[in-house]
Structure 1
């Protein structure tokens, strides 16, 4: 069993593959236990689903959140981590009026709740959390190789040696994690994710700029559309100062799965038409941008929290292991960190975020 405690093992230097919210949270929690952490990120910078696209200056500039639209803070450890490393200047509440459509077609407003966003974009949070961390950007890890010192040597896709580590934590979606494990001669470990891979669903996202304010009395909605899953007025979020009114449209997961290989033009037109049908807005946007998330969310609402293969010193975490959501990404990292402490791999830790998460 991958979570059964075994003999204590000291982890002094650990590699994390991926620097989204899950990887960043794990790195900060592990640092509080005195572990040296190096993160490897395939993109230009940290963020994962806390992602935003900068918009053309000729279209008013600014940026639009194309991944997570907002997040909640219910976990005390998550709040402590954000307060310590991000601070109030990088995130704030979004007092949005959000509504949903019932099966009968009636529109209702979501219950009042504190919903948070990054300022001036969602990536502000990941940038703040990463300031004290060692992140190797634009490095795609291809495989792990055992060394004679009971460590893992990491190799990237350009066959470059990225160093040796006492343990490795992976934060990628299950299909990508499985690919790395198989390339590393760990096919048996990869089998642990066979049931998780088909649970992951795609999401097409379209950003649309309208030159004039649309005059809607809500900032976001979830319809019963067969195409459109979610729409949000990105311009209504604090700190968004681009010209015009920018809306972010997310396609339904099942629809996005069926149209994974669709053209950006066809996808954009379908989502814009669905938005028009839901809102009654006939005005056409003067600029659009499409982005496909191949592994956006899992259909599973619960999960083990983390995977830890003690004999191999390999961990796997992610929001998909903890029921989704931005906060779920933190909770997965927290779950693994607590487990490593419980089996004696880490010191207990005395940081404020560690105390708050107990």
Structure 2
């Protein structure tokens, strides 16, 4: 296998994967990203739906983010200067959202990168020339290294044939699911607050149309609690929608009007556990992992993880092999 670390494949083009890609490219790396989604967003996705009242946008993944560390605060400041983010006081004094949708910052980060959208990576294959990625369209590569910017469970499945230590760390992490309902109404609902905190079945509810930069008809995002989502993970979508609507109506103490549109989405991997590392890198296998599952369930953690892994790879490029192979981590 070549000792170069110039050609790098990143599986997952969400915030963590794109943060890693940007730093690697700035250091001279040649990066190719792969993502099974139709477009950028990941768990910062925004879904736009055509209705009789016009187009409605729903932030159906992460509802907002905070910025506490210097690196991410600087990045958010850049997003603000480019009109990609704004504060959302209804969710708290430190809450931010993307403009005009939550996916806007991720979409901007993806521009200029080579991303194969709608591409499922089924397996990693290592040969004398490096790593190749097996997809339904065939093999891609060779690459000198592979980064997995995926939920822990998906990363573990790809890692299993190749690196026992990385696989064990990914397999030890568990990501909570989340059922989400998106609904638009022809009239404003009788609730004063634009956000509702966890209460039984409901883990979160937000008047999406009240976020900065939004508009259009009354639009709500309802997210089930992690425990309820886990218990009802395989329920039919309509059954889940009815249950969340009933819980929402109970919270409002009023029947809900018929929605103009209602859609249900299941996030099988929504909220990561809290870990103690930012990123993982195996010099022996030339495999790395980044994502919020390594440090904590926050958007900022995903960003920090991607940057941390890029630094590990850049350092590996600059070091000779006298240090010996091994598993590195950033904490």
- TM-score, normalization by structure 1: 0.83
Alignment-derived partner of residue 219 in structure 1: 194
After superposition, the Cα gap between the structure-2 partners of 1:211 and 1:85, relative to the gap in structure 1 and judged at 3 Å, is: closer
1:262 aligns with 2:239: no
Which residues of structure 1 form unaligned runs of 5+? 1-8, 99-111, 347-358
Alignment-derived partner of residue 61 in structure 1: 55
Alignment-derived partner of residue 170 in structure 2: 193
Note the alpha carbon deviations across 1:212-231, whole angstroms, 9 max, x for none.
11243211121331x11000
After superposition, the Cα gap between the structure-2 partners of 1:84 and 1:32, relative to the gap in structure 1 and judged at 3 Å, is: farther
Alignment-derived partner of residue 111 in structure 2: 131
Structure 2 counterparts to residues 36-51 of structure 1, below 5 A: 36-51=30-45
Number of residue pairs matched?
316
Is the Cα contact below 8 Å between 1:86 and 1:125 reproduced in 2?
A: no
Is the Cα contact below 8 Å between 1:19 and 1:48 reproduced in 2?
A: yes
Give the distance between the partners of 1:203 and 1:285, measured in 2 at CA. 24
1:77 aligns with 2:56: no
SS in 1 for 2:196: strand
Give the distance between the partners of 1:268 and 1:161, measured in 2 at CA. 40
Note the alpha carbon deviations across 1:290-332, whole angstroms, 9 max, x for none.
000001112x323311111111110011111121111110011
Structure 2 counterparts to residues 21-40 of structure 1, below 5 A: 21-40=15-34
Alignment-derived partner of residue 337 in structure 1: 310
How far residue 341 of structure 1 moved from its aligned partner, in angstroms, is 4.0
SS in 2 for 1:209: strand
How far residue 86 of structure 1 moved from its aligned partner, in angstroms, is 7.6
Is the Cα contact below 8 Å between 1:214 and 1:281 reproduced in 2?
A: no
How far residue 186 of structure 1 moved from its aligned partner, in angstroms, is 4.3
How far residue 209 of structure 1 moved from its aligned partner, in angstroms, is 1.6
Which of 83, 87, 96 is the aligned partner of 1:116? 96
Which of 313, 317, 323 is the aligned partner of 2:296? 323
Alignment-derived partner of residue 177 in structure 1: 155
After superposition, the Cα gap between the structure-2 partners of 1:238 and 1:284, relative to the gap in structure 1 and judged at 3 Å, is: same
- TM-score, normalization by structure 2: 0.89
Which residues of structure 2 form unaligned runs of 5+? 320-331
